[in-house]
Chain A
Amino acid sequence: MPADLRIADGNPIWLSQSIVPSKDTVISPGQSPSAATPNVNSTDVFTYIKVENTGNVDLGACACAAAVPAPWPTVVLFANFLANPNASTSQTQSGVTFTVSNFGDSLSGTGINFSFGLSASGKRAWAWSPDSRFFAYVGSPNGNDWYLTVVALQNVTRSNGTVINKGQAAVTGNGLFAGPPYWTNANFGWAGSKAVAAAGAYAGGGGIVRMVACPEAPSPNTYGDLIPDMPGQVDWTQLSSPCGSVFAFVPRVLQAAVGSRDIMLISTATAQVVSFRKNNVPTSVGISGANPSITTNQHAANGVHVITGGSPVDVDDPDCTTVGGGIAVIVDRVKASTLPSANLGVLGVGSATLGVLLIGQNRWVQVPNSNASGWSNQGEQHWCLLGQAYTSDGSTIPRPWNGQAASPPPFPVNNNNCAQRNIQILP
């Protein structure tokens, strides 16, 4: 059984015991309330909905499965490089074939037909992402320039909810490096599976040019900067968090006289610089030694341990200290009717959320009546409460019904995650 939520039906179906209007102050979501009969002036009646996880997926929990302690991995440099305009080769992975030829390079497979064009200088580097969802390719018309294209090998949802279709370019970037040799595959690498990093000598003078391309970020989805080159004094390591939510430029301070240098974090969801946090308060982490390291010990606040060269510090895990979404619970009501149709109008009651619900767990969710009309009964004492639960991401378990939409269809009471209960609203 896939992800599933249940609000248990009653016997008969119109008397669910998992929907309870109550005046009780129920301290714990693990406890059940006793039922009460609201009147039209009640301001102390909540509707409690018992939601059960009857599927085989923990809902609202951190999706990062990386076992701890987890050292942050370094960027994996592109493994493939050619510098001959007449070279020809092909590679196949998971049913997708990359072909190099003097007529142009391309990617092909079921639902994928992407042309990278001709790399006139003959230089190209490429690599599949570790999770095989993306393919990254770098070509060069003139040898000193480079053009990066990352292609989605399956439909991928960006952090803002939009979808990159299979076979489409997810992110592109370009630049110039000084040389010769200008660049090779060693200038590019996958940081986890959510970012491609590029770094090389600045073509316009001294310095290092850096770029991070984030295929899951909405446009603009690249970050770039230019930093001073300090050979023998400061070197840089490129790391990513175990589940790839952030990319880190980590300085290695080779000479103590240089002083401390801060780690720079880039969110792969936004391609923007973000801060480390400690108890959710922004903080910086300075490195003063030559052998810094970052290790996730716990997928929670203060769960990341940084060896700085000075005093080690603990900061929040950027992968899982906060987990967006959870379970939404919505309550509506309709006048007494033998079927929970919407033909007499649907009054919203309120909504609430439930954070984490593990497989087999249940919780009572407290839903306030936030409708401006309160418990007005419109002259009819008999009403029916309609409760529904779904995941806030809208996709794992979609919202079954919108009673506040124009001309809503009948309430889908036969759905597992929908139930109804007759109540009386006294004058």
Chain B
Amino acid sequence: MTVHRFTVNIPNGEARGVAVRLRLQRVTAKSVAALGLGLPESALEVESAGITLDPCADEGKPELELKVPAYSSRDVNVVIATAAAGPKRGGVTAFNLIDERGGKVAGGVMLACVDRVGPEPAGQVIKPPRPCPVVLAGDPYPLAAHGDPSKPPAAKILTGGTAVELVVPITNPRSSTLSEVQVYLEHLGVSDATFAPATWNVGDFAPGAVFYATWPVSTAGRSRGTFTASVVVASARADPVRLEATLRIGTRSDSPQKEKTTRARLAARTRPVRRSPAGRRRLGRG
């Protein structure tokens, strides 16, 4: 038997005390499967399930009523005992802890008991049927305000604690003109950099042409390292596509010479910009 213990907070943000009725409701196996969490398909056999205020109790009651004073909260404990899962299949069961106030459902939380065999499956690459063909024309780089975005600096490193324009060059690799091309910056990865959002309407995009999309970017200076930004491109009659652009944030001491030696490696990681799940794990947090 496995005992699953959960501590759940019951808050009251109102100016008056409130009476709360808590009850456990088992989630059907079908509903658990519908969550798409990739959980084991087998249902765990539940031996007992209850709510208690005692954090050391081995069991509780299916329902519990308590009073929560104004602007405060109380913790309750949910104790669910399940039989051992099959050795090769694992199992899952889930309960909704339902919070009722004044005879109405005010909120709740789902508590899942999982007995998994082996590690969770890795993520998959999900490709669209008609991807927009636009690709990056090179690594992103910083630019002083009002500069010429077609002239990259010697060092393509964003300096922490500064505000610059981030240039992301994109190109049309096809032999025909693409129409209604748009590009926007979705995020700057796990860095602490922020940006002013904007969409560029590239419109008709000739074969081989390069458009230099720019966004004002500020780096707080806490993050250093290599990050993966997400740039989304779209064109007529195609699915919009995320392009993953490698971004480097460093300090003033990160010299252009040092940058030169790593440029080829970074370029290899940037093109053709659709990265494997394993590649994402290599990202640093700075």
Contact = CB atoms under 8 A, between A and B. Distances in A.
A328 B185 CA distance: 11
Contact of A25 (B105, B125, B181): B125
A320 B124 CA distance: 37
A23 B281 CA distance: 10
Contact of B184 (A302, A341, A356): A356
Interface residues on B, range: 35 or more
B124 A337 contact: no
A206 interface: no
Q: Is the interface of A mostly helix, strand, loop or mixed?
A: loop
A374 to B, nearest CB: 7
Interface in A269-327: 279-282, 298-303, 317, 320-326
A319 to B, nearest CB: 10
Given A324-B196, A337-B11, A368-B187, A34 B38 contact: yes
Contacts of B138: none
A380 B277 contact: no
A339 B14 CA distance: 12
**Interface of chain B, main secondary structure:** strand
A181 interface: no
Contacts of B191: 370
Given A25-B280, A30-B239, A343-B9, A280 B213 contact: yes
Contacts of A344: 9, 11, 73
Contacts of A337: 8-11, 73, 107, 109
A374 B285 contact: yes
A328 B6 CA distance: 34
A281 B149 contact: yes
A31 B126 contact: yes
Contacts of B280: 25, 43-44
A35 to B, nearest CB: 5
B145 interface: no
The 6 closest A-B pairs by CB, nearest first: A300-B203, A23-B123, A355-B184, A338-B99, A355-B199, A28-B128
Interface of A: 12-15, 17, 20, 22-31, 33-37, 43-44, 60, 62, 279-282, 298-303, 317, 320-326, 328, 335-341, 343-344, 350-356, 363, 365-370, 372, 374, 380-382, 384, 392, 409-410, 422, 424
Interface of B: 6-11, 13, 22, 35-38, 72-73, 96-99, 105-112, 114, 120, 122-128, 131, 148-150, 181-187, 189-192, 196-204, 209-214, 222, 230, 232, 239-242, 274-277, 280-281, 283, 285
27 contacts: A13-B108, A14-B96, A14-B109, A15-B35, A20-B36, A25-B274, A27-B274, A29-B242, A34-B36, A35-B35, A44-B281, A280-B211, A280-B212, A281-B149, A301-B202, A302-B203, A322-B201, A338-B11, A338-B97, A338-B107, A341-B9, A341-B73, A343-B9, A350-B190, A352-B187, A370-B190, A382-B109
